[in-house]
Amino acid sequence: MIIGIALFVFPFIYEDRSMLILFTQIFIFAIFAMSYDILLGFTGIVSFGHAMFFGIGAYCVSVMLKHHEPTMLLVTGAISLGVLFSLIISFVVGLMTLRLKSHYYAMLTLALAGLFLVAAEKWRTLTYGNDGFTFQVPEFFHDRLHFYLVCLVLMVIVYFGLKRFIQSPLGRILLAIKDNEQRAESLGYQVLHYKIIASIVAGGIASLSGSLYALSLRFVNTSVFTMDITLDALLMTIIGGVGTLIGPVLGAAIIELAHHWLTGLAKVHWIFERWLILFGIVYILAVMFFPNGIVGSVRKLVSKKEKKEDVSTSENIVKEG
């Protein structure tokens, strides 16, 4: 909470453009990573194609702004359109693929995202392929501070919105599915149904983050559809803490900051160019030893401590008794 307020005040005290951009980037990826957590952490679905929705959002906004007068109304419209597309596509994809077993699903999403990438690369009249194109953003966003605040607010809204979502009866069913799919099924829940809902929610929010990403760069190219984008979400979610919602936010911050910092060090030694290797290793260790990531592990530690304290207090009571 304190951090939240600090983040609102921060740009007014400390005026550094590159920091502002970096933080905006963090908020955007935090939104993206949270959407991924809905799949991985709360429903137990492994998707390797989440970049698909990120890319749809990015291109929707970019193409609209390229061809029309950039107004706020248009931006809102374009974002909504992207979200709508993503909702439809995630529904169709979910309907087709979510009945498959986990590894098949992972592969199929990988392939589908690959298809989108290829399509974006080939449809050059619209996308200008890998070269990409720049576009104008509305007047209001010319001030980086405005955009910073918009992204921050959206991140907070998404966070609380998703929190409500997972604490709703529906969210509990998703968790039950993650825990034990067969049991949820035998309790009479239409597992496929709920999985599709989860993937629609995740797809829509991913699209939102993609739109913001394009707006922040005022540029788009096919890299928004690449595996790297999905990998980012994976790393952030796993390292931050799967199934904790705040974890992916933390993960986004860690990875973006480290990325920024380590790329800066690349001038010192080229090995820092390969910062991803470090995260790859941390990621593997996290999957193996801390499947709940930073947040989950800290929570566990805290609850253990509390339990210990409980025990010691009860011991005291016994002694006194």
Partner 1 sequence: MELFINLTINGLATGMLIFLLAAGLTLIFGLMSVLNFAHGGLFAWGSYAGVWLYLLTNSFIAGIIGAIFIGILLGFITEKWIIQPVYGNHVQQILITLGFMIVLSELLKVIWGPNQIAVTPPAYLTGSWEIGNILIIKYRAFIIVVGLLMYGLIYYMLKHTKIGLIVRAGVINKEMVQSLGINIKRIFLYVFMAGAAMAALSGMLIAPYAGVIHGNMGMEYAILAFIVVVIGGMGNITGSILAATLVGIIGSFMAYYVPELSLAVNMLIMAVVLLFRPQGLFALKG
Contacts with partner 1, residue ranges (CB under 8 A)? 40, 44, 46, 48, 96-97, 100-104, 106-108, 110-112, 114-115, 118-119, 122, 227, 231, 234, 238, 271, 273-274, 276-277, 279-281, 283-284, 287-288, 291
Please state, in angstroms and rounded to a whole number, the distance separating the CA atoms of residues 201 and 35: 7
Q: Which is nearer to partner 1, 135 or 275 (CB)?
A: 275
* Cα(179)–Cα(228) distance, integer angstroms: 29
**Nearest one of 293, 8, 16 to 151, comparing CA atoms:** 8
Minimum CB separation from partner 1 for residue 53, in Å?
17
- Comparing CB distances to partner 1, the nearer of 234 and 236 is 234
Residue 267 to residue 264: CA distance in whole angstroms: 6
As a whole number of angstroms, the distance between CA 26 and CA 257 comes to 8
Q: Least distance (Å) from partner 1 to the CB of residue 41? A: 11
Please, which residue, 74 or 106, has the CB nearer to partner 1?
Answer: 106
- 165 with 255: CB under 8 angstroms? no
For residue 221, which of 135, 136, 133, 125 has the smallest C-alpha distance?
Answer: 133
Nearest approach in angstroms of CB 198 to partner 1 is: 15
Nearest C-alpha neighbor of 213 from the set 18, 25, 37: 25
Whole-number minimum distance, CB 305 to partner 1, in Å?
A: 27
CB of 253 to partner 1, least distance (A): 20
- Phi, psi (degrees; rounded to nearest 5) at 219: -160, 150
Closest to partner 1 by CB, 192 vs 287, is: 287
CB neighbours of 163 closer than 8 A, spacing ≥ 6? 245
Q: How far is the CB of 259 from partner 1 (least distance, A)?
A: 13
Q: Which is nearer to partner 1, 121 or 161 (CB)?
A: 121
Assigned token pair, 207: 């699209």
- Angle 26-64-128 from CA coordinates, rounded to 5°: 85
CB 57 within 8 A of CB 211: yes
Q: Which is nearer to partner 1, 264 or 291 (CB)?
A: 291
